[in-house]
């Protein structure tokens, strides 16, 4: 008999390694990488909770999603996926989602939770199962669910073809995953992400900001102050040189007068 815990804990997510080309071989599947927030949705006896990849809770920001996922036909579950804000023509808007998540909360009618893994269901920890089996269980849950926010991420057999397609249609990239792999928290070589060239070019400034290579641009006043301080520093250096030269001249004059 399965005993369901009252409250399930957040699971630290699996983090893909990076590569320049999708992984090759029959044991690999490939998924489009949407430009959104990595999210984890937990349903248990205590209700539904929403977490970012860092473990920050967003349950109060998205009441519509919380209510909808409570109707999933399962007593308990932990889903791993991407929260995406999609406009009417199907384009994802990362910056808008980021801005609205930090303030009042986004317009939930444009949100989708794109699920790509099922870590736990009805008292059973699924992380020890191969990815292929977890995908099968996730597909079964998604087909039975009537949650309007929920969609399962599609998988494809050819990573190179998918990367070319994603690049042409503005996606962030491709994630290759080993079908036989178990779910492990933290960095993993069984999940490999490749960024689309066009997306990398269009988001170059964003990369620099997240990697700590870019600082906020100074204001006009700050630039003027910096310029004046640099000028003052140069004047002080010249003044010190003149004072040193003056002291030398005075010493030489004194020596000549005493001769």
Do residues 231 and 125 both lie within one domain?
Answer: no
Classify residue 193: in a domain, yes or no: yes
Whether 146 and 227 share a structural domain: no
Sequence-separated contacts (24+) of 249-255 with Cβ below 8 Å: none
Query: 232 with 138, same domain?
Result: no
For tokens 């791993």, what's the residue? 80
- By residue range, what is the domain housing residue 228? 221-259
pTM for the structure as a whole: 0.76
Q: How many domains does the chain have?
A: 2
SS3 category, 252: helix
Residues 60 and 184 in one domain: yes
Cβ contacts of 97 within 8 Å, gap of 6 or more? 36, 37, 83, 84, 85, 106
Same domain, 77 and 186: yes
- Is 33 catalytic? The answer is yes
pLDDT tens string for the chain (259 positions)?
A: 455 557 999 999 999 999 999 999 999 999 999 999 999 999 999 999 999 999 999 999 999 999 999 999 999 999 999 999 988 878 888 888 988 888 777 789 889 999 999 999 999 999 999 999 999 999 999 999 999 999 999 999 999 999 999 999 889 999 999 999 999 999 999 999 999 999 888 877 655 655 444 444 555 666 676 777 778 778 888 888 888 888 888 888 888 888 7
Q: What is the C-alpha to C-alpha distance for residues 62 and 111, in angstroms, rounded to an integer?
A: 10
Paired residues of 113 in beta bridges = 83, 150
- Domain match, 177 and 236 both: no
Whether 5 maps to a domain, the answer reads: no
Within 8 A by CB and 6+ apart from 22, the residues are 28, 30, 159, 160, 162, 163, 174, 176, 192, 194
Residue 114 maps to a domain:
yes
Which one of the listed residues 33, 43, 177, 195 is annotated catalytic? 33
């Amino acid at each position: 008999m399965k005993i369901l815990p009252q409250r399930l804990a957040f699971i630290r997510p699996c983090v893909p390694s990076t590569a320049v080309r999708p992984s090759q071989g029959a044991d690999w599947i490939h998924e489009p990488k949407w430009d959104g927030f990595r999210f984890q949705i937990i349903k248990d006896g205590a209700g539904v909770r929403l977490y970012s990849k860092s473990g920050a809770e967003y349950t109060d920001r998205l009441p519509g999603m919380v209510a909808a996922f409570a109707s999933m036909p399962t007593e308990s579950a932990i889903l791993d996926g991407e929260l995406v804000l999609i406009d009417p023509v199907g384009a994802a808007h990362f910056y808008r989602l980021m801005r609205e998540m930090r303030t009042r909360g986004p317009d939930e009618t444009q949100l989708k939770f794109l699920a790509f893994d099922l870590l736990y269901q009805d008292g059973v920890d699924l992380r020890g199962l191969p990815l292929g089996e977890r995908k099968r269980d996730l597909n079964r849950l998604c087909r039975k669910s009537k949650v309007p926010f929920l969609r399962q991420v599609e998988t494809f057999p050819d990573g190179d073809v998918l990367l070319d397609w994603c690049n042409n249609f503005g996606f962030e990239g491709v994630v290759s995953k080993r079908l036989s792999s178990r779910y492990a928290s933290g960095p993993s070589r069984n999940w490999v992400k490749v960024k689309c060239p066009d997306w990398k070019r269009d988001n170059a400034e964003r990369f620099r900001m997240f990697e700590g290579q870019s600082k906020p641009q100074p204001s006009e006043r700050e630039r003027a102050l910096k310029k004046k301080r640099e000028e003052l520093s140069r004047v002080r250096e010249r003044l010190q040189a003149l004072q040193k030269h003056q002291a030398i001249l005075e010493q030489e004059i004194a020596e000549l007068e005493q001769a």
